[in-house]
Amino acid sequence: MEPRIVHLTQKILVGKHLLMSIADNKTGQLWQSFMPVRNTISHKTGTDLFSLQLYPPDYFLAFNPHTPFTKWAAAEVTEAGNIPVGMEVLLVEGGLYAVFPHTGMGTEIFSYIFSEWLPRSGYTLANRPHFELLGEKYKQGCDDSEEEIWIPVEPKP
């Protein structure tokens, strides 16, 4: 499976975030707190949602399932004014992304991306957010759910 390579322009996101790890996954808790209040966000660009991860710079050098990272549940906005109580703004820097379409609930695609596609591609990981774009075809917990996985990349030197 070959991704499309996209130059993402800067995004303004509004949402909630939690510190977690793979071993102490709090994704469900994060989304349960975000979904009931997502419609209070002003100036949304649409209905798509972002499940975004901010990893420390050395996160992928020596993977450890207990290493903490920050995960966001967010929506894109046109301006960062009138932020609902309990939410924050995140500016996502623009840059190159490898975009993988994904159908289903499995996480094996991440193994493919990091152990097969990335090493043989002409790219390395960039130190920017990783995210899943959850559009109208996303159905949490369903085998026919569709989403896009966005991995930050830069050309190999």
CATH number at residue 19: 3.20.80.10
Cα 82 from Cα 104, distance rounded (Å)? 36
The total number of structural domains that make up the chain = 1
pLDDT at 134: 95
pLDDT value for 107: 78
**Full residue range of the structural domain in which residue 9 is found:** 4-155
Helices (H), the chain: 27-34, 108-112, 118-120
Q: Write the CA distances from 24 to 20, 29, 50, 71, integer angstroms.
A: 6, 11, 20, 12
pLDDT attached to residue 140:
84
pTM greater than the 0.75 cutoff: yes
Provide the strand spans (E) within the chain: 4-8, 11-20, 44-54, 69-77, 88-92, 95-103, 123-125, 130-134, 146-155
pLDDT of res. 48: 97
Pairwise CA distance, residues 75 & 145, whole Å: 19
What was the pLDDT predicted at 82?
A: 86
Please list the pLDDT of the chain residue by residue as tens digits (157 residues).
899 999 999 999 999 999 999 999 999 999 999 999 999 999 999 999 999 999 999 999 888 999 999 999 999 999 988 899 999 999 999 999 999 999 987 778 999 999 999 999 999 999 999 999 999 988 887 888 899 999 999 999 8
Predicted pLDDT at 23: 96
CB 29 within 8 A of CB 36: no
In sequence order, which residues have a C-beta less than 8 Å from that of residue 130 and are 6 or more positions away?
A: 52, 53, 55, 149, 150, 151, 152
